[in-house]
Amino acid sequence: MELISPFDFVKRSVLAVQDYTHLSLRSLVNMFRKPFYMADAIQQADLIGVGSLPIVVLTGMFTGIVLALNTSKTLEQFGSLSLTGRLVSFSMVRELGPVLTSLMVAGRNSSGMASELGSMKVTEQIDAMRALGTDPFKKLVTPRVVATVFMMFFLTIISDLVGLVGGWIISFFMLGLDSTQYWNSAYQVLKYNDVITGLVKPLVFGFIIATVGCYYGMTTKGGTQGVGRSTTQAVVVASVLILFVDAVLTQLFITLS
Amino acid sequence: MPLFEEDDKSIDTVHKAIIFEDVSISFEDSPVLDGVSFELRRGETKVVLGVAGSGKSTILKLCLGLLQPDRGRIYVLGHDITTMSEEELFDLRSKVGIVFQESALFDSLTVRDNVAFRLMEEHLPESEVEKRVRESLSFVELEEAIDKFPAELSGGMRRRVGIARAIITQPEVLLYDSPTGGLDPITSTTIIELIMKQRDVFKTSALMVTHRLQDGFTLAGHYYDPASKHMKPSDGKPSLDIRTSFMILREGKAVFEGSAHELGQVQDPYIKEYIS
């Protein structure tokens, strides 16, 4: 493994942040500049959104089930089993729905974007696109960012809903709770601020997933080995960034409320 | 953007397609090109020779603005591309075609979509796109592969699709990056014949980077005969107006520039060894 001096490491890191910021800003600006690649965005929305649906549904379902199972044990000790719906709903909508959905989509799509664009980079297809007069940022990056942000919003709503259904299955069939009571408590606990928090987070996380995946793809070097490295790095960085930004956003929304 | 500023009046854009003026570029502190200057006249084909790592492919990428030089000026079709933004370069690139070393075809698109890429980006009517794609593929004699994907083609066929994609807009300048690299001798001759056909039929200016000396000499010593649809030796006939010149790069510097005849006469020991 190549050894680099601390100065070079800092220099490379700062350059990487600069390049990532540039790519992110460019992807945003390109949303308002012609040409618009609507067909590419719809294709990506299908790949990212519809393609991620099974994994998101499964994650949501099992998270809801596990939440209900774990919280019911504690709540039972205090004779408050009827609060299961409240706990599942609050946790899913505010926190676990957005974060777990994003981590799943990051694992599936950040890696996909990094490997696809990385392969194009090392086989000079990105250069060929530029040489043919097409801006690869507009053609490849912006449609992926738009599609991911758009689809993350709906995937999170589906995940929240399926999680609540998972909690209801446990509450109704195993804990013997009344369905109406479960859904009423699940609905009543949610405040305007919780819903907003749960719907803003996936938009930001979607942006992180797409931009990190595209950044590592577009900066891939070193042949097929480089593609593998970019793919791994994209998933790791996207996941860590999601968790970090989640903490920041949670604190921000608490402060605002 | 105006073609030339006041101080650029000395630049001859009528007769010259590409001008390099003292161009230097380094990658991670190691110089790749060091003060390279040359001119490509309109209608001329310049064969750029040199060992691996001498900066040949870098010259092509600089011509398209895919890389920016550290120093010097590059004029392409009258535009100083060293001062142009990426957005401005996209328009200019429609007049310059490039055939990449490994073809760089879009592997998720069919041959039709690869060749039609530029036209589809310009939103031309489908019938017009289909007509021009077939014309372009017919030029490289590969019409039957129109619905295939790049992975289904041989190396030579991919190279020919790359040429079809580059010429579909009839660019004023063509750049070939090792077009015969890694190909068998028969396929290499087919590719050289296509480059010759483009030179002699459409009079396109071209830069051809290669490390195969015989490709350059074949281009310099033959002409394309439209009647027989094959190349024929020119036997030094001046009336055929074959404009092929050579440039040799060594460690980022241009150490020779001239005709095939001049290359044969040169006394420099490095060049003599290179061409022997």
- Domain ranges for chain A: 36-256
- Cβ of B107 and A127 within 8 Å? no
For residue B224, the domain's CATH number is: 3.40.50.300
Which of A128, A134, A135 is facing B100, going by the closest CB pair?
A128
Contact B107 A123 (CB under 8 A): yes
Q: How many CA atoms lie within 13 A of B210 on its CB side?
A: 27
Which pLDDT value is given to residue A4? 78
pLDDT digits (tens, 9 = 90+) for B55-86: 899 999 999 999 999 999 999 998 999 999 88
Task: Evaluate if residue B147 carries a pLDDT over 60.
Answer: yes
Residue B113 confidence (pLDDT) above 80: yes
Closest Cβ–Cβ partner in A123, A130, A135 for B66? A130
Residue B138 lies in a domain: no
Chain B residues with CB under 8 Å of a chain A CB are: 61, 64, 66, 86-87, 90-91, 93-94, 96, 98, 100-102, 104-107, 117-118, 121, 165
Q: Enter the tokens of residue B213.
A: 């000396």
Choose among B66, B106, B121: nearest Cβ to A125: B106
Q: pLDDT by residue (tens digit) across A75-84?
A: 888 888 888 9
For chain B, how many structural domains are there in total? 1
Note whether residue B166 is domain-resident. no
Q: Does residue B252 fall inside a structural domain?
A: yes
Average pLDDT over residues B24-41: 90
Q: Contact, A194 vs A96, CB < 8 A?
A: no
Chain B residues touching residue A129 (CB < 8 angstroms) = 106
Q: How confident is the model at residue A2 (pLDDT cuts 50, 70, 90)?
A: low
Between CA B86 and CA B93, with CA B90 as vertex, the angle to 5 degrees is 120
**Contact yes or no for B238/B246 (Cβ under 8 A):** no
* Contact check, Cβ <8 Å, B118/A128: no
- Residues of A whose CB is below 8 A from B165: 132
Kindly indicate the confidence band of residue B10, based on its pLDDT and cuts at 50, 70 and 90: low
Look at B105 and A130 and tell me if their CB atoms are within 8 Å.
no
In a domain, B254, yes or no: yes
B183, B226 Cβ separation under 8 angstroms: no
**What is the H or E stretch that residue A112 is in?**
helix A111-122
Of the residues B84, B98, B114, B165, the best mutation for testing chain A's interface (the one with the most A CB atoms within 10 Å of its CB) is: B98
Terminal C-alpha separation, chain B: 47
Interchain contact A6–B (C-beta under 8 A): no
Cβ distance B86 to A133 less than 8 Å, yes or no, reads no
Q: What is the mean pLDDT of residues A117-136?
A: 94
Answer yes or no: is B109 within a domain. Answer: no
Distance from CA of A133 to the nearest CA of B (A): 4
* Residue B89 lies inside a defined structural domain of this protein: yes
In-domain check, residue B270: yes
Cβ pair B104:A123 closer than 8 A: yes
- What does the pLDDT look like over B203-251, one tens digit per residue? 899 999 998 888 898 998 888 888 888 888 887 666 556 688 999 998 8
What is the percent of chain B where pLDDT is above 90? 49
Which residue bears the tokens 């499964």? A58
Q: By residue range, what is the domain housing residue B14?
A: 6-95+171-275
Cβ–Cβ of B66/A127 closer than 8 Å?
Answer: yes
Say if B127 falls within a structural domain: no
The first and second tokens of residue A35, run together, are 């040409």
Burial B24-44 (b: 16+ CB within 10 A, else e): bbeeeeeebbbebebbbbbbb
Radius of gyration of chain B (CA): 19
Q: pLDDT per residue over A211-233, tens digit each? A: 999 999 999 998 889 999 999 99
pLDDT confidence of residue B241: 62
Judged by CB atoms closer than 8 Å, whether chains meet at B121 and A134 is answered as: yes
A246 to chain B, minimum CA–CA distance in Å? 36
Q: What integer best gives the mean pLDDT of chain A? A: 93
